[in-house]
Amino acid sequence: MALSLTAAAAMLLTACGSDNNAGTSSSASGSSSSSADCGGKASLTAEGSTAQQNAVAEFNKVWQQVCSGKNLSYNPTGSGAGREQFIAKQVDFAGSDSALKDDQVAAAAARCGGNPAWNLPLVFGPVAMAYNVEGVDKLVVNGDVLAKIFQGQITKWNDPAIAALNSGTTLPDTAITPVYRSDSSGTTDNVQKYLAAAAPQTWTKGAGSEFQGGAGEGAQKSSGVVQAVQATPGAIGYVEKGFAQQANLPMAQIDNGGGAVELTDETTKKAIDAAKFAAEGNDLALDLNSIYGTKEAGSYPLVLATYEIVCSKGYDADTAAAVKSFLTVAANDGQANLGPAGYVPLPDAFKERLLTSIDAIA
């Protein structure tokens, strides 16, 4: 059974103490990681999610400030590539918008010397439905409409199903061009999981890191989606909020069944409050169905958690120390300036449990 973030944190606080819990309580309660251990090797490598690349850049900057001489080299090649490179021992950890797939768990454990790999979310980020429709400054969609657009069943912007959600707005007789990620992408996986939860009768394509909808045109990475939407009248594409903001692209409101919801920090935080862990323990994969299927008023449903996939054990001592140092700083000081980059800082209840997991890396 999935555990709520608040309940999980309460369980940790009321459980019998351990060295790991004691070691994290002071870090979790404070806003600063000035006491972070700066041991281990000077340079780390990671690869993967483009959705988290701006957050990782902020984390690295803060890590360098807290721990002089440290540096993370991050290659934003996409979540699928990141997981593959981690399993192949080419990088110290992976960035991924999806937890390890079932068929990757054993290979990841082998890479970690026979020890489980853990999925540790460091930041939450809403996914925007960015669009390019001339004369339409406000656009409302819902899960059913989006499913039909990305499956090629709705092809014009003045389709009656879209018009019904946009009373008072004149929609043009313009062809719709859905833009999807052509590379293996955790963002794609999350969007397809959202469509399956929000429109289960309509979205019949399943989920996964490869786009299954069969309509539109593909673009490489988040930056490619932004460029394609900008260049294509009538386009709509899914991309992380920060990328849409940087490009000044309008973002559609999503009607989750409880009314149209604008993508803001407040509406995203309301959705994140409903997030649940998939299981107990230090692997913090999330069960996001409660977010994707929400009908709560004012709750923006299309939110992804971006993970760092790490070895629970199996690193050499210098690498383990550096990974723990980076993650501790990222979970503390690194959260402060994520808002302007389009992310939502970690909820306090989740941060407690995350720091406990980080401290348990050996």
Instruction: Say whether both 144 and 39 belong to one domain.
Output: no
The answer to whether position 298 is within a domain reads no
Instruction: Say whether both 204 and 243 belong to one domain.
Output: yes
Q: What CATH number has the domain bearing residue 138?
A: 3.40.190.10
The answer to whether position 242 is within a domain reads yes
Q: Is 185 flagged in the annotation as binding?
A: yes
Expressed in angstroms, the distance from the first to the final Cα of the chain is 27
The answer to whether position 2 is within a domain reads no
Instruction: Say whether both 28 and 108 belong to one domain.
Output: yes
Instruction: Say whether both 132 and 252 belong to one domain.
Output: yes
The domain boundary, picked from 239, 267, 295, lies at 267
The answer to whether position 216 is within a domain reads yes
Average pLDDT of span 229-235: 98
Domain encompassing residue 340:
19-126+276-286+305-359
Burial 59-84, CB ≥16 within 10 A → b, else e: bbebbeebbeebebebbbbbbbbbbb
Q: Is 242 flagged in the annotation as binding?
A: no
Instruction: Say whether both 167 and 241 belong to one domain.
Output: yes
Average pLDDT of span 162-181: 97
Q: Model's pTM, two decimal places?
A: 0.76
Per-residue model confidence as pLDDT tens digits over 202-222: 999 999 989 999 999 999 999
Instruction: Say whether both 91 and 134 belong to one domain.
Output: no
The answer to whether position 291 is within a domain reads no
Instruction: Say whether both 202 and 245 belong to one domain.
Output: yes
Q: Is 186 flagged in the annotation as binding?
A: yes
The answer to whether position 12 is within a domain reads no
Instruction: Say whether both 122 and 160 belong to one domain.
Output: no
Instruction: Say whether both 150 and 245 belong to one domain.
Output: yes
Q: Is 50 flagged in the annotation as binding?
A: yes
In degrees and rounded to multiples of 5, residue 174 shows phi and psi of: -110, 140
The answer to whether position 14 is within a domain reads no
- Out of 213-227, 275-289, 305-319, pick the least confident: 275-289
The domain boundary, picked from 213, 238, 267, lies at 267
Q: Is 177 flagged in the annotation as binding?
A: no
Average pLDDT of span 51-76: 96
**Element containing residue 165 per DSSP (H, E):** helix 160-165
Instruction: Say whether both 331 and 223 belong to one domain.
Output: no
The answer to whether position 5 is within a domain reads no
Taking 50 as the threshold, does the pLDDT of residue 33 lie above it?
no
Q: Is 283 flagged in the annotation as binding?
A: no
Provide the domain count of the chain.
Answer: 2
Instruction: Say whether both 35 and 98 belong to one domain.
Output: yes
Cα distances (angstroms) measured from residue 188 to each of 19, 55, 119, 193: 39, 19, 18, 8
Per-residue model confidence as pLDDT tens digits over 282-293: 999 988 787 898
Instruction: Say whether both 93 and 139 belong to one domain.
Output: no
What is the pLDDT, as a whole number, of residue 350?
78
